[in-house]
A and B are shown apart, each in its own frame.
Chain A
Amino acid sequence: AQTVTQSQPEMSVQEAETVTLSCTYDTSESDYYLFWYKQPPSRQMILVIRQEAYKQQNATENRFSVNFQKAAKSFSLKISDSQLGDAAMYFCAYRSGGNAGNMLTFGGGTRLMVKP
């Protein structure tokens, strides 16, 4: 079974600064997807960024980028120019690339606080 670990329960960043959230995972599969989701107080799960394991290039979405280290099974999220609206819980998630369904395995989350 796959596992996803987020070792930072809480992180804090100054507004406009850069912060990196860590995620490691364990799998024996070669075809899979990795995601970062944001969960603000409203509880809505918002997809921030996705990475396909077969792609070597790190995904980027505006101020959000990942550092995908496949051999190390590491998938960190970098948030540049942090904004107050970035404050939320962030969850790393794994999904198998096979045809067994789109079920996600989530990490325990990191609470990000942004200081003005």
Chain B
Amino acid sequence: NAGVMQNPRHLVRRRGQEARLRCSPMKGHSHVYWYRQLPEEGLKFMVYLQKENIIDESGMPKERFSAEFPKEGPSILRIQQVVRGDSAAYFCASSPFQGKADAFFGQGTRLTVV
């Protein structure tokens, strides 16, 4: 059973470009969580999604950031018009249901904005 798969592992974007980060949850998991880790800091929750639904986006910046988890395919975190401050590691975690189940993390995508 493959774990949570994130790609790419590393992504370099110039200021003003778009960044698309992908997350394929573990098989059988229908809940996905995105976190951001700035250098030398802990992970900060961004958004919680189920298939075709955003459940909680309280940690998402109001502008330029969006997330989706379509019926088919991976979850996508999209950052438009990237700025240097978006440089961070972005982690995805998945869980099988909403209750008392631990979430499993992917290896993260390191985004560097130049």
Contact = CB atoms under 8 A, between A and B. Distances in A.
Contacts of A45: 43, 91, 93, 105, 108
B52 interface: no
Interface in A97-111: 97, 99-109
Contacts of A97: 100
Nearest to A97: B100
Given A43-B108, A45-B105, A50-B102, A103 B33 contact: yes
B42 A107 contact: yes
A83 to B, nearest CB: 22
Interface residues of A, number: 22
Interface string B69-105: 0000000000000000000010101010011111101
Interface in B41-80: 41-45, 48, 55-56
B102 A103 contact: no
Given A45-B91, A107-B42, A109-B42, A102 B33 contact: yes
A109 B108 CA distance: 17
Contacts of B107: 42-44
Interface of B: 31, 33, 35, 40-45, 48, 55-56, 89, 91, 93, 95, 98-103, 105, 107-108, 110
Interface of A: 4, 6, 33, 42-45, 47, 50, 91, 97, 99-109
